């Protein structure tokens, strides 16, 4: 990597964006001006189209990181006397539990290991045991390890039992098909800097209109009052408070490229090729994947750290970085791992290159035992 | 204005930034990477230096618009059993009152007209009448009309009576001198997209360390938990949740230019020349300023709408826009006005040009009576 050039981000957002997307940030926009309002309106429509929400749902963008939008969705769509069930298999599920604690909303978790996923039967047992549950909050793609939770199965159970469903689809939106015309979801949350490949800086909630209409007065916060943001935007086509104009303009450019690539099907297929290429290459070096392929989402892969005493993550990270790729630390408590993102404006050739960078690093560090310590 | 060229933003943020600032957004950054962490750390230090807060205060950045940071400052720094006095002379003061309502914090307002400002005597009378007041929340520069409130006088009254002071310095920070080593302020709030001339997308709270240390557990919100953001950042030099990396990098570039220009003194002087040039030019056309010069902040000027029946704001706005300048509507309820920003990467020649664009528009619209309707 020549001096002055930037490494490729193999991280689950922020990720490597295209030059066309970044160049869209070279212009300043007036947040009150009709030209900018038209961008906001078109983004809201196109994000809704990604998940077939036209007619039933509304897209409400919100300033801040994706977590701000997750908190806003929970605070607005769960009434103050509601109770939320959280099937919990990773750090982003834990974050939802933490948010519900801040909000003072009653909640219960079904805890499970990070390599297992919830089932309809689990949810139904919980509904029977506690009829006061009104909502389920589910992470679609647990970025903690890269686990794809079975969204349609969960949505089916919620629908049969009349429970609301709020989905943190942060790392899935745009890469994994979600069809709101066939899957009963009250609110789907994602952000600009994930699989749509925009820069980070705004999130959005795609909420069922009938649920949104009822949620005035629920919010704990002015800044995160989704109902207020929505009604103001409907009336004026403007944001209530200063929007991140450059990020919004770049998201517009990113959406144009997303549509031109062929939408979720094409983007998901590219990420799947990236992920397969990566996992095969890493397996050939001796790395063991944390997840079985059946639940491995095509967005980020988690690998066990090598057993070799010559391995330490910091050195490994820095040497791979010097070869042009930024990896991501593991987010597990129980096993030592690291993560490699497969998302962003990258293709399978980058994945072959990162495997080669990892191979060179192993040699450099004198790591011979690449398989993990235990029979994990 | 040639097709494809952008108009200059004469709006109180987002504003026209320099090309160097926007070009800083052409790079992607890993939010976990040491190179990005170094940017975050240096921005926190340099923002603190702008107001001489080294040693006593801490800069805590937060994702979202400036309002998110105002809400975070109020929610974290005012204990749940505190009571906030709000001297209220404009829409951003009203927003503080609204936030306090959401937070369920006890509060009282001193309401006054938009062209008047609070005094130490007013505050002291309120403190005597209600000893349960623990804090004052004050807007430094009311962007609603461009009023500069007397911050040092207010801080003096708070200090003498042992009241905490939280200042929304959104449009003042970087253009009006604030010296935390001489003025007793618990928290000062501003944002990336104002007088430092970065893009919008993040705010920051400069809080007294001893106040920050005590505020754990106060926050109503995970996303806006300033204490948690601060302690995590101190420990890791990272943001808790995905930062708007491109905005942060551009703010770094904007700060470099701010320092090179000569800091607050030089920037304030440039804005003052912009403002004087504008007001003199507009006065020569017959426009009446809303504020007397003594309280006119050098950031945004408010003008009364012409009395002429041929005037309507929408047409006026569009015709000035076609000549290359984006104005801003008034934010007053009692008088018809419009606003012209004097901030951003612009100088007095832009101000002469906008006066010329306004003159051409008046002629075009057949507006002869430029003075306002009443003897306002």
Give residue-wise pLDDT tens across range A214-226: 999 999 999 999 9
The string of pLDDT tens digits covering residues A175-213 is 999 999 999 999 999 999 999 999 999 999 999 999 999
In DSSP notation, B253-287 reads HHHHHHHHHTHHHHHHHHHHHHHHHHHHHHHHHT-
CA distance B33 to chain A (A): 8
pLDDT reported for residue A144: 86
A28–B13: do the CB atoms touch at under 8 Å?
A: no
Report the percent of chain A where pLDDT is more than 70.
98
A244 closest CB neighbour out of B16, B200, B242: B200
Contact by Cβ (8 Å): A89, A112: yes
Taking the C-alpha atoms of residue B239 and residue A150, their distance in angstroms, rounded to an integer, is 31
DSSP state, residue B363? H
pLDDT above 60: residue A349: yes
Report the percent of chain A where pLDDT is more than 90.
93
The string of pLDDT tens digits covering residues B256-280 is 999 999 999 999 999 999 999 999 9
Query: Per-residue b/e over A69-82, b at no fewer than 16 CB within 10 Å?
Result: bbbbbbbbbbeeeb
A6 closest CB neighbour out of B28, B99, B250: B28
CA B362 to each of CA A45, A215, B279, B319, B341: distance values in angstroms, whole numbers, following the listed order: 38, 46, 16, 9, 19
A13–B326: do the CB atoms touch at under 8 Å?
A: no
Nearest to A189 by CA among A242, A140, A225: A140
Query: Average pLDDT, stretch B284-296?
Result: 94
A28–B15: do the CB atoms touch at under 8 Å?
A: yes
* Residue A376 binned pLDDT confidence (cut-offs 50, 70, 90): very low
The string of pLDDT tens digits covering residues A222-276 is 999 999 999 999 999 999 999 999 999 999 999 999 999 999 999 999 999 999 9
3-state secondary structure A100-165: HHHHCCEEEEEECCCCCCCCHHHHHHHHHHCCCCCEEEEECEECCCCEECCHHHHHHHHHHCCCEE
Is the omega angle on the peptide bond into residue A9 within 30 degrees of 0, that is, cis? no
3-state secondary structure of B309: coil
Contact by Cβ (8 Å): B179, B308: no
- Which chain A residues contact residue B321 at CB under 8 A? 33
pLDDT above 90: residue B12: no
pLDDT above 60: residue A93: yes
The string of pLDDT tens digits covering residues B303-344 is 999 999 999 999 999 999 999 999 999 887 678 999 999 999
Contact by Cβ (8 Å): A145, A115: yes
B221: nearest CA in chain A?
A102
The string of pLDDT tens digits covering residues B24-80 is 999 999 998 999 999 999 999 999 999 999 999 999 999 999 999 999 999 999 999
In DSSP notation, A241-301 reads S---HHHHHHHHHHHHHHHHHTHHHHHHHHHHHHHHHHHHHHHHHT--BSS-GGGB-TTEE
Domains and CATH numbers, chain A: 21-260 (3.40.640.10), 263-365 (3.90.1150.10)
pLDDT above 70: residue B4: no
B102–A220: do the CB atoms touch at under 8 Å?
A: yes
Q: Name beta bridge partners: B296.
A: B147
pLDDT above 60: residue B1: no
pLDDT reported for residue A331: 80
DSSP state, residue B24? G
A222 closest CB neighbour out of B9, B71, B329: B71
A65–B68: do the CB atoms touch at under 8 Å?
A: no
A321–B33: do the CB atoms touch at under 8 Å?
A: yes
Whole-number CA gyration radius for chain B: 21
* Residue A313 binned pLDDT confidence (cut-offs 50, 70, 90): very high
Is the omega angle on the peptide bond into residue A14 within 30 degrees of 0, that is, cis? yes
Q: How many CB pairs under 8 A join A and B?
A: 194
- Which chain B residues contact residue A246 at CB under 8 A? 22, 25, 199-201, 246-247, 250
The string of pLDDT tens digits covering residues B179-202 is 999 999 999 999 999 999 999 999
CA B208 from chain centre, in angstroms, equals 20
Taking the C-alpha atoms of residue A17 and residue B374, their distance in angstroms, rounded to an integer, is 55
The string of pLDDT tens digits covering residues B122-160 is 999 999 999 999 999 999 999 988 999 999 999 999 999
Nearest to A243 by CA among A218, A223, A269, A272: A223
* Residue A82 binned pLDDT confidence (cut-offs 50, 70, 90): very high
Q: What is the ipTM of this complex?
A: 0.96
pLDDT reported for residue B375: 53
Q: What is the mean pLDDT of chain B?
A: 96
Taking the C-alpha atoms of residue A128 and residue B375, their distance in angstroms, rounded to an integer, is 72
Taking the C-alpha atoms of residue B256 and residue A243, their distance in angstroms, rounded to an integer, is 24
Contact by Cβ (8 Å): B70, B95: yes
Query: Average pLDDT, stretch A71-85?
Result: 98
- Which chain A residues contact residue B25 at CB under 8 A? 22, 25-26, 199, 246, 250
3-state secondary structure of B339: strand
- Which chain B residues contact residue A20 at CB under 8 A? none
Taking the C-alpha atoms of residue B309 and residue B208, their distance in angstroms, rounded to an integer, is 53
Q: Which two tokens stand for residue B95?
A: 């927003």
- Which chain B residues contact residue A195 at CB under 8 A? none
Mutate to test the interface with A, among B18, B35, B63 (most CBs of A within 10 A): B63
Contact by Cβ (8 Å): A196, A251: yes
Q: Which two tokens stand for residue B29?
A: 């950054």
- Which chain B residues contact residue A23 at CB under 8 A? 26
The string of pLDDT tens digits covering residues B355-375 is 999 999 999 999 999 999 865
Query: Average pLDDT, stretch A282-311?
Result: 95
* Residue B238 binned pLDDT confidence (cut-offs 50, 70, 90): very high
Q: Which two tokens stand for residue B115?
A: 């062209």
CA distance B88 to chain A (A): 18
CA B4 to each of CA A191, B23, B52, B70, B246: distance values in angstroms, whole numbers, following the listed order: 29, 18, 42, 36, 24
Q: Which two tokens stand for residue A355?
A: 């495997």
Nearest to B234 by CA among B31, B16, B37: B37
CA distance A199 to chain B (A): 7
CA distance A165 to chain B (A): 21
pLDDT reported for residue B73: 98
Q: Name beta bridge partners: B341.
A: B300
A8: nearest CA in chain B?
B28
Contact by Cβ (8 Å): A148, A297: yes
* Residue A375 binned pLDDT confidence (cut-offs 50, 70, 90): low
């Amino acid at each position: 990597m020549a001096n002055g050039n930037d490494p490729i981000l193999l991280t689950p957002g922020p990720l490597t964006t295209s030059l066309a997307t970044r160049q869209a940030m070279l212009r300043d926009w007036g947040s009150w001006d009709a030209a900018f309002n038209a961008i906001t309106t078109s983004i809201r429509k196109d994000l809704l189209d990604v998940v077939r929400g036209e007619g039933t749902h509304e897209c409400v963008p919100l300033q801040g990181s994706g977590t701000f939008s997750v908190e806003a969705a929970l605070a607005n769509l769960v009434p103050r006397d509601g109770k939320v069930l959280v099937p919990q298999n990773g750090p982003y599920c834990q974050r939802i539990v933490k948010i519900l604690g801040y909000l003072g909303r009653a909640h219960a978790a079904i805890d499970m290991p990070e390599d297992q996923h919830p089932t309809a039967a689990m949810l139904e047992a919980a509904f029977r045991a506690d009829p006061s549950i009104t909502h389920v909050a589910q992470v679609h793609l647990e970025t903690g390890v890269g686990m794809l939770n079975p969204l349609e199965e969960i949505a089916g159970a919620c629908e049969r039992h009349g429970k609301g469903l709020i989905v943190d689809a942060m790392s899935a939106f745009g890469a994994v098909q979600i069809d709101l015309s066939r899957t009963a979801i009250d609110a789907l949350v994602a952000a600009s800097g994930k699989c749509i490949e925009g820069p980070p800086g705004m999130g959005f909630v795609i909420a069922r209109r009938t649920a949104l209409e009822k949620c005035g007065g629920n919010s704990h916060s002015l800044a995160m009052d989704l109902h207020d943001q929505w009604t103001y935007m409907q009336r004026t086509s403007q944001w209530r408070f200063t929007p991140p104009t450059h990020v919004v303009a770049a998201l517009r450019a990113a959406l144009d490229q997303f549509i031109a690539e062929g939408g979720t099907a094409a983007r998901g297929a590219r990420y799947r090729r990236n992920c397969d290429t990566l996992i095969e290459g890493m397996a050939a070096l001796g790395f063991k994947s944390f997840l079985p392929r059946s639940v491995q989402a095509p967005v980020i892969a988690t690998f066990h750290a090598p057993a070799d005493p010559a391995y330490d993550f910091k050195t490994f990270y820095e040497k791979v970085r010097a070869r042009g790729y930024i990896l991501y630390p593991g987010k597990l408590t129980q096993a030592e791992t690291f993560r490699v993102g497969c998302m962003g404006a990258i293709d399978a050739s980058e994945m072959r290159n990162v495997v080669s960078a990892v191979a060179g690093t192993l040699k450099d560090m004198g790591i011979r035992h690449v398989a993990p310590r235990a029979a994990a």
